[in-house]
Amino acid sequence: MKILRPLIPLTVILILYFALKEGVPYLGSQLHEGTWPVIPTSVMKMYVFFIAVGVLLIFTFTDDGFKANIGPFAEIYLNPDRKIIRFVSAVLVGCFGAWVSYQYVKPTFDAPVELRSIHPAPPSNAKMWGKTYSIGTLKNPLREDKENFAANVKAGGEVYYKNCFYCHGDRMLGKGPFWDGFTPVPANFVDIGTIAQLSESFVFWRIGTGGPGLPSEATPWLSAMPVWHEFLSEEEVWKVILFLYDYTGHSPRVIEPHH
């Protein structure tokens, strides 16, 4: 049974591998449903390499350990009486190599990667409602109107629920009834990665000119975001912006003055 001794470190490596690959995401999914990331393959490969080296080091650290674990290899390859086991080992190692190389050469039919800049730099000027707006200096005219603030927010809510909820969702989570029909999927306004990062002028530009208004690094041909200046008035857009920030509790980013 000495010959089986090297299986112990191998087994330990395998167990650690599965703990990493399956265990960690599983644990994560229990703690935080849907948000736990899977470990990327490249990082997995690195971890597994370190684990393998570490385990082998531990098992061959002492002289005895070294002999016990390496000895059987010498036995297989050097003892003339071990013909059968040598043959089996040669086949197994060969098959493993073939399998690994197959994983590399087998054809994959994954879709081409489409890189898309989510928040591209806006143009300095944008045309909407037959006028030209300078995006850098634009301010929400309704924000200062403290007196009518609540009424404006409510009016913005009505704009939202007549025009936006079926994509961006009744809960603002980007999951309206038709969200899964569009790639890229509609923006999630509760998430800190969207309006929370943006200035009101940027959001105004995005709503006014929609998907087709994006520069080419943001793949305007893919976005289902409609061109709202064709449907809404300028005031309605400012109102819906008030509503978006009010409902989600985010504050718009304040633009630093240009130098």
The partner in contact with residue 78, picked from ligand HEC, other proteins, none with C-beta cut-offs of 5 to 8 angstroms by kind, is other proteins
Cβ atoms of 197 and 253 within 8 Å: the answer is yes
Decide if 201 contacts 119 (C-beta within 8 A).
no
Q: How far apart, in whole angstroms, are the C-alpha atoms of residue 37 and residue 189?
A: 21
Least distance to ligand HEC, CB of residue 199, Å: 11
Min CB(225)–ligand HEC separation in Å = 3
Q: State how far the alpha carbon of 234 is from the alpha carbons of 44, 123, 221, in Å.
A: 50, 18, 24
Residues between 140 and 169 with contacts to ligand HEC, criterion CB under 6 A = 163-168
Minimum CB–partner distance for residue 156 and other proteins (Å): 11
Kindly list the distances between the CA atom of residue 208 and the CA atoms of 33, 192, 226, 233, 241, in Å, as whole numbers in the listed order. Answer: 35, 22, 9, 9, 11
Residue 94's binding partner among ligand HEC, other proteins, none (Cβ under 5 to 8 angstroms by kind) is other proteins
Binding site for other proteins (CB under 8 A): 30-33, 77-78, 80, 86, 89-91, 93-102, 104-107, 109-114, 157-158, 160-162, 165-167, 169-171, 173, 175-178, 180-183, 211-212, 216, 219-222, 224, 226, 230-231, 247
Residue closer to other proteins (CB basis): 5 or 86? 86
Task: Specify the 3-state DSSP secondary structure of 129.
Answer: coil
Residues 199-238 that bind ligand HEC (CB under 6 A): 203, 206-207, 211, 223-226, 228
Closest CB 165 distance from ligand HEC, rounded Å: 5
4-33 residues near ligand HEC, rule: CB under 6 A: none
Query: Do the Cβ atoms of 193 and 246 come closer than 8 Å?
Result: no
Residue type, 37: P
Beta bridge partners of 132: 127
Tell me if 229 sits within 8 A of 196, measured CB to CB: no
Nearest to 214 by CA among 122, 144, 104: 122
Would you say 47 or 149 has its CB closer to other proteins? 149
Please report whether residue 119 would count as binding ligand HEC according to CB under 6 A. Answer: yes
For residue 180, the partner it binds in ligand HEC, other proteins, none, with Cβ less than 5 to 8 A by kind, is: other proteins
